[in-house]
Amino acid sequence: MTINDDGALEARFPQLLRLTDPDDPRVADYTSLTDVALRRKLEPERGMYLAESSKVLRRALEAGHRPRSFFMAEKWVTDLADVIDAHPDVPLFVGGEDVLEAVTGFHLHRGALAAMQRPEPLELGHLRASLPDRPRIAILEDLVDHTNVGALIRSAAAMGVDAVLVTPRCADPLYRRAIRVSMGTVFQVPWTRIESWPESINTLQDAGFVVAGMTLREGAITLDELVAEDHEKLALVFGSEGPGLTQATEQRLDRRVTIPMMGGVDSLNVAAASAVVFYATR
């Protein structure tokens, strides 16, 4: 069998549904993917997120997440045959590239998309109980760029950070771009959203964490000095792009920390800074 044989794919995959109409209501999960403001509201409301590319999709499934449907060009079906076979009751939408682009708003060139059921948020108490004896966590305060969120989580995974907390105004780690930039590591690093911030700093301090915020303001100790203190429980806070940490957060910190710069460089992108901090404190 080849993918060009008439009816061969339908015979091989009974759940396959061919798309010819971009307005088909069955693929509403995939419409207007380039409208960020709409998707930020739509996806959490529907209890879903989108996994883009074969690698990211496989990592989501390995993490135990459940697919709602698959959406791809015909040429990708055989590459994902094992995934499709493992979920025989999940609809498989297949269409020409022009139809898929009309649905999503962009050219789908990374393989497959899948609408995934969004997992229930982790309870902060349960997350804390699962941490090791010498935990190291990261807190993302009001980061608005999904690329930075994804890159920071990827660095956290690579450097063995035990958990990530995001504040109420922080971008969604399960938004398509954040997931893609993280290369699916957002599925392996435990994370949850903090409902009360910066008041939650007090809760972390009561649990024995030293809460250290990265800042460029005067009076901060260096990253090397923080590492030399060798804290048993460390929470590292990263502020939003541009303004950095809020004043209310800085007032509650145990440590204010800076990365010394050379070569006339005054600062690093927050994702790059996080990689430096995670490596130094590993």
- pLDDT for 267 beyond 60: yes
- pLDDT for 1 beyond 70: no
Average pLDDT (127-156) is 95
Q: Are 20 and 26 in contact (CB under 8 A)?
A: no
- pLDDT for 206 beyond 90: yes
Question: What are the start-end ranges of the H helices in the chain?
Answer: 8-12, 36-46, 54-62, 81-86, 97-104, 124-129, 146-158, 176-181, 200-206, 223-229, 247-250, 270-280
* pTM for the structure as a whole: 0.90
Output the pLDDT for position 207.
Answer: 93
Give one word for 237, left, alpha or beta, with left for phi > 0 and alpha for psi -120 to 50.
Answer: beta
Give one word for 208, left, alpha or beta, with left for phi > 0 and alpha for psi -120 to 50.
Answer: left
pLDDT band at 131 (very low <50, low <70, confident <90, very high): very high
The model's pLDDT over 172-197, given as tens digits with 9 standing for 90+, comes to 999 999 999 999 999 999 999 998 99
Kind of pairing, strands 112-117 and 210-214? Answer: unpaired
The one-character DSSP state at 244 is: B
CA 203, CA 30: separation in Å to the nearest integer? 39
Output the pLDDT for position 104.
Answer: 92
Output the pLDDT for position 2.
Answer: 43
- pLDDT for 141 beyond 60: yes
First to last CA, the chain: 51
